[in-house]
Amino acid sequence: MSKRLGNPRFWSVAASFGLGVVLLASCTSSRPPQQTSGGMSGPMDYNRPHRDGAPWWDVDVSRIPDAVPMPHNGPLKNNPYTVLGKTYYPLNDARTYAVTGTASWYGTKFHGQATANGEMYDLYGMTAAHKTLPLPSYVRVTNLDNGKSVIVRVNDRGPFYSDRVIDLSFAAAKKLGYAEVGTARVKVEGIDPVRWWAAQGRPVPMVLAQPKMAPVQPAPAAAQPQAVAMAQPIEVYTPPPAQHAEPPAPVQIDSKKNASLPADGLYLQVGAFANPDAAELLREKLSGLTGAQVFISSVVVNKQTLHRVRLGPIGTPDEANRMQDSIRVANLGQPKLVRPD
């Protein structure tokens, strides 16, 4: 998630967000869900975590409605900008946009921070970040693995550290069924709000509740002389280096540990993570779900270490199918049969 573009005080770490190859991180708490005074979801005493992850307050996402496409009468934010030496040229119109690729999500680390167009990010809102769609715009995102679909409001920029095509809010990822595993193969389609309302058989409403804007803080006096320079056609963003979306440096894999893993029979792979903590969290969740051994097998792919969460050995294909169904029903991923290595 990013802070307001064009002003360095409003640029936040979420401009490049995302979850690396896959990030899954969460905390647990006995505290009941609450609402902040500003209407944001979450506890009143919210403390921003150092690492991104899932919220520790629980909200039933099935009760969260999709974003409602509305025509935007004000100026769109679609000016060119540069991140990490690459210049992006946003589109003028999102209505005919269509692309297939990988989606991820971002959560607690950016909750309550300003997005690229100044709105406040709520991880339980139905929003998204995209590199080149105009802000704001609306898209339908469909999980190609399970057919689930949501409508989100694009109000942020990113992701910049990977080839993912879009990053969704935690709520949107949860509704699409991939929050627990981190990424999904999706189709992203632009929405024409006028046609969308016509398809509902209703006229476009005159007024709809406006999104909550992040508070604007004045720049320090020393930064005032830079105001003219920041108004140049191409803005330059500098995402902070310490974030989960940055490609992790390869680590030495414990070959003895991997060598001790089982090697016969059938295996299911439920996820592959750049973050070892995420892999361990999924392993713990799976351990209580099936009778098969759950283990983590690490491998280096394209100079990046992946921690693969696998189950096995499994005796028969029928047993493997039953385990796949159980894992899907528990919303813990889309397990696939793999060969031991």
Q: Decide: residue 63, CB within 10 A, 0-12 exposed, 13-18 middle, 19+ buried.
A: exposed
- Among 162, 185, 200, the domain boundary falls at 200
Asked if residue 112 and residue 193 are part of one domain, the reply reads yes
Closest CA to 6 of 228, 242, 241, 245: 228
Asked if residue 194 and residue 82 are part of one domain, the reply reads yes
The DSSP code for 132 is: S
Question: Is 260 domain-assigned?
Answer: no
Phi and psi of 61, rounded to 5°?
-70, -20
- Among 164, 184, 200, the domain boundary falls at 200
Asked if residue 177 and residue 81 are part of one domain, the reply reads yes
Question: Which of 67-71, 111-115, 251-255, 274-278 ranks highest by mean pLDDT?
Answer: 67-71
- Whether the per-residue pLDDT at 3 is higher than 50: the answer is no
Asked if residue 196 and residue 65 are part of one domain, the reply reads yes
Asked if residue 172 and residue 90 are part of one domain, the reply reads yes
Higher pLDDT, 53 or 21: 53
181-233, pLDDT tens digit by residue?
888 999 999 999 999 999 999 998 876 656 666 665 554 444 333 333 333 45
Question: Is 16 domain-assigned?
Answer: no
CA-to-CA distance for 320 and 62, rounded, in angstroms?
29
Overall average pLDDT of the 228-244 stretch: 44
pLDDT at 129: 94
pLDDT at 162: 72
- Whether the per-residue pLDDT at 123 is higher than 50: the answer is yes
In 10 A of CB 337, how many CB atoms? 14
77-97, pLDDT tens digit by residue?
888 988 878 888 999 899 999
Q: What is the CATH number of the domain that holds 328?
A: 3.30.70.1070
Higher pLDDT, 145 or 216: 145
Question: Which of 20-24, 61-65, 333-337 ranks highest by mean pLDDT?
Answer: 61-65
Question: Is 233 domain-assigned?
Answer: no
Overall average pLDDT of the 118-130 stretch: 92
Tally of residues, the chain = 341
Range of the domain at 275: 266-338
- Whether the per-residue pLDDT at 43 is higher than 80: the answer is no
Overall average pLDDT of the 136-146 stretch: 96
Q: How confident is the model at residue 251 (pLDDT cuts 50, 70, 90)?
A: very low
Which region among 13-22, 114-123, 140-149, 175-184 has the lowest average model confidence (pLDDT)? Answer: 13-22
Higher pLDDT, 163 or 153: 153
Asked if residue 191 and residue 115 are part of one domain, the reply reads yes
Asked if residue 187 and residue 86 are part of one domain, the reply reads yes
Asked if residue 71 and residue 193 are part of one domain, the reply reads yes
Find the radius of gyration of the CA atoms of the chain.
Answer: 21
pLDDT at 83: 82
Beta strands in the chain, from DSSP E residues, in sequence order: 81-83, 86-88, 98-106, 127-129, 137-143, 149-156, 166-169, 184-190, 235-237, 266-273, 294-301, 304-314, 336-338
Phi and psi of 221, rounded to 5°?
-55, -35
Asked if residue 79 and residue 161 are part of one domain, the reply reads yes
Q: CB of 33 within 8 A of CB of 58?
A: yes
Q: How many domains does the chain have?
A: 2
Which region among 58-62, 135-139, 159-163, 218-222 has the lowest average model confidence (pLDDT)? Answer: 218-222
Quote the mean pLDDT of the chain: 74
Overall average pLDDT of the 234-251 stretch: 43
Q: What is the CATH number of the domain that holds 117?
A: 2.40.40.10
DSSP letter string over 158-220? ---SSS-SEEEEHHHHHHHT-TTTS-EEEEEEE--HHHHHHHTTSPPPS--PPPPBPPP-PPP
Asked if residue 270 and residue 190 are part of one domain, the reply reads no
Question: Is 152 domain-assigned?
Answer: yes
Question: Is 93 domain-assigned?
Answer: yes
What does the block give as tokens for 136? 């704001």
What does the block give as tokens for 213? 């804007």
What does the block give as tokens for 174? 């949860």
Question: Is 195 domain-assigned?
Answer: yes
Asked if residue 274 and residue 196 are part of one domain, the reply reads no
- Among 200, 218, 252, the domain boundary falls at 200
Question: Is 322 domain-assigned?
Answer: yes
Asked if residue 320 and residue 194 are part of one domain, the reply reads no
Question: Is 253 domain-assigned?
Answer: no
pLDDT at 265: 74
CA dihedral 229, 231, 233, 237 (to 10 degrees): 80
pLDDT at 51: 65
pLDDT at 108: 83
Overall average pLDDT of the 136-165 stretch: 92
pTM: 0.58
DSSP letter string over 71-90? ---S--B---EEETTEEE--
Closest CA to 243 of 122, 161, 120: 161
Overall average pLDDT of the 257-263 stretch: 49
pLDDT at 59: 83
pLDDT at 57: 78
The DSSP code for 41 is: B
